[in-house]
Structure 1
């Protein structure tokens, strides 16, 4: 029996909401120290004090939801903007650019943290870290576009993005390796880590998602028009220059806010939109909010694996997403080659 399209889409969003709720429950309750579900509920309601739940796991899980939502929505927006199924914040160099911007600010501002003290990689930078990351992400994306010769050249765009990202990652590592005591922190940050997210980081992420996510959601119809070609979009009366700039700024801001708090977590923005296209089609009015939901759930579940696979030690969550996303990316390349 084939379900009607509105009913199927409603069930998809219901399933995404359920998956996100399950991820939240598992993320707060499961870890090196197990917490019974009843104690989790009591701690969340303030009926019983449990610092493991309220001060360690809850901000980490909520931060993971926000980081995943930012990367998922940004990845869908990049793919729609460039009309390229291989584009995402990682492959376009935006994530590496954001990391380089934050590191550059910290290195010259004297705010480099010795070993992940407090809730983030850098101390004392506040909102300026996200601003520096935003400028770095925007600059890296523009450089990728210039080197590729425009958005139409899919192969050149991916290659340019990989080159730009690699160079910027190398520069980031060089800046942070100036002090040998920070080597471990360097690699943990480069691979992405949610372990040091605290309530200040969660509040900062929430603020920047409120700034960056609504413009993307409102521009879903414009992204649909862009999929038909720029000439068609212009014939519909869309101001393409302004819309593209707004999309690029909003997606870069989401990427920068995620990287500033959690480092480079690759492949979330690549995997999530592709999984959802099979269920929702190419309608970006649905794809963008769905990507935010699934991105948040996927990152929390990946972080849960990172915390439990080698416990009591932890893996950087970026390692888990890379192990999941690498084969998926190779599959996409193989599929693109087959179509060509």
Structure 2
């Protein structure tokens, strides 16, 4: 798409803020609640799996801080990406490109909600967890959103670190430190992120191409993307068993992780073997990837609650 056409479509989509009156639901939408839910759950899992005890009120404060910080980063992301969001079919109805929320209001909303939970986490819980929270938010906004996303097809690989911090933050909220076990929980999300997002990028390739975002399928093609998805999924299989090796989880988790890992591998193989242009396996893998990560953490937490 030409720059002129892109500017025309963007300008049309971003008009009408003066007439728009944003509702509460529009500001909630800025927080990307569906994305936030998995982030919050992984943070909760880190908190539950950590050795030691945190008062229930402080635990609730820690989870709230993780949730608000994640949502705030999403709001700033929507503010910065409002031009390309107006181009992509998947994102055109977001509050800013739809003309429901003024960009300046969205930015102010995101900045305030980025700072507040870090301060609260530090004062109420501990400053190690607060520092990790601040770093994760800054990494997502400045490194991923403002730098990597539009400059390299490895945007998701490197930028995915931001979304991998919540279990480490939850762990640090209890222990006040960073351990090998919490790094493994971080790594689980980190290595899960590329096949998860590249599955989406495969069947949304045209959207990313029109918006000028160099996602791997746009730059390297479908075949190479599928190979790399399989490679990360293969690496993820033994990594998902590491919590059992470290004693963070038990046999029930190990069996569940092996089964889920096998199904995730099968999904990646089906994507690799699919004909170019056949995106049904990619859509199925994307949907399953969300369930996969949720069930991994649910197994760990469930086992901890049952066995103590």
TM-score (norm: length of structure 2)? 0.28
**Larger RCO (alpha carbons 8 Å, 6+ apart):** 1
